[in-house]
Each structure stands twice: as structure tokens, then as C-alpha cells.
């Protein structure tokens, strides 16, 4: 099981839909216009077939207080942040620290996704890493942490996310 977590409005639902498209095309071809999405109320389960079936459980951002109810059976964690919203970064950082300190997630591999790099107001990766003190977080975390800049809307970086999921679930499976 892979958990997909992040604040409301960061693009989690669009990411899952785009990953399904990328996996079905083997990462080839233009994705075209992004499909319509609605805010997730509750949870969505989506299977991505990439060499093997990987189930992604997306939890709505409004469910933050009860995310821990879903940590059991979690092999990998995708944590999404909005690279175009500096005011949301500190709240997302607090959420991330809570996730990383959970004993149930101590063995999970973590991929931090900085989404919305297609927007003109997005912050550079180095600026975001500095603002949330990511090097310190990585140094103190028990988990293996990777980062990626993506645009779920445009499809940028999604092949790398898929490759990370494949490698993580092959190594742990």
C-alpha cells in the first residue's frame, strides 16, 4: 500500500489520475488536457499497474487529523506540497514532521513531491528545501526520503514518480 497525503488543494487527485495515464502508456506520448477533479472527501483507492499492481490510497487533506488511522500496511508514502504557495509550506512541514515521527511509518520509503512547478509563481527547489529545513529533516528521519519537482497538470516528473514507486515496491515486496 502506498499512501498519498498532503494539504487540501495540492493536486493529489490529479496526480493519481495522471499516474494511471502514464503507467498505461509506459511513459510515452502527450498526456493532453488534465482530467477534471473534485476535492477528495474521505479516501480514494487507485490501482496503478507498473510491472506489478501498486495500490495508492489518497486521503483528503481535510482528513489530516485522522491520517494515522491509515498508516498500517503502508510500504511507501507520497507526500505532496504546493510549490506555488509559500504560506502553505509551513503547515505542510508540520504535517510532514508528524508523519516522519510515527512509529507505524518508520519503515516506509518517502517521496516528497513539490507540485505545481508549471505555475509562474512557484518557488525554486533550493528555496523550498531551505524554508522547511529539509536537510535537517532528512538527517533526523528514520525513513529513506527522496524529493521530486513535478507538475501533475503538465505531466512533468511523473515518469520519475512511477519509477520510484516501481523501485520501492520491488525492493520491499
The verdict on whether residue 53 carries a ligand-binding annotation is no
Cα distance between residue 131 and residue 134, in whole Å: 8
Q: Is 10 annotated as a binding residue?
A: yes
- Residue 9 annotated in ligand binding: yes
60 annotated as belonging to a binding site for a ligand:
no
User: 40: annotated binding-site residue?
Assistant: yes
What is the Cα 94 distance to its own chain's centre?
A: 16
Report d(CA 152, CA 158) in Å as an integer: 7
Residue 8 annotated in ligand binding: yes
Residue 7 assigned as binding residue: yes
Q: What does the block give as the cell for 170?
A: 520491488
* The three three-digit cell numbers of residue 35, written as one number: 482530467
87 is in an annotated binding site: no
All three cell numbers of 153, joined, read 497538470
Q: In 3-state terms, what secondary structure has residue 106? A: coil
117 is in an annotated binding site: yes
11 assigned ligand-binding residue: yes
Q: Is 44 annotated as ligand-binding?
A: no
What are the binding residues for Mg(2+)? 13, 40
What are the binding residues? 6-13, 40, 61, 115-118
What are the binding residues for GTP? 6-13, 61, 115-118
Amino acid at each position: 500500500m502506498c499512501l498519498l497525503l498532503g494539504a487540501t488543494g495540492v493536486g493529489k487527485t490529479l496526480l493519481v489520475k495522471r499516474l494511471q495515464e502514464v503507467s498505461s502508456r509506459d511513459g510515452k506520448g502527450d498526456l493532453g488536457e488534465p482530467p477534471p477533479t473534485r476535492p477528495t472527501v474521505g479516501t480514494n483507492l487507485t490501482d496503478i499497474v507498473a510491472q506489478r499492481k501498486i495500490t495508492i490510497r489518497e486521503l483528503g487533506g481535510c482528513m489530516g487529523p485522522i491520517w494515522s488511522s491509515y498508516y498500517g500496511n503502508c510500504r511507501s508514502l507520497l507526500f505532496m506540497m504546493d510549490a506555488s504557495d509559500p504560506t502553505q509550506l509551513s503547515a505542510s512541514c508540520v504535517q510532514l514532521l508528524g508523519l516522519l515521527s510515527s512509529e507505524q511509518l518508520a519503515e516506509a520509503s518517502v517521496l516528497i513531491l513539490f507540485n505545481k512547478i508549471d505555475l509562474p509563481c512557484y518557488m525554486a527547489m533550493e528555496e523550498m528545501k531551505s524554508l522547511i529545513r529539509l536537510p535537517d529533516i532528512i538527517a533526523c528521519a528514520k525513513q529513506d526520503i527522496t524529493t521530486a519537482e513535478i507538475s501533475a497538470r503538465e505531466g512533468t516528473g511523473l515518469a520519475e514518480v512511477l519509477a520510484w514507486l516501481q523501485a520501492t515496491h520491488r525492493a520491499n515486496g
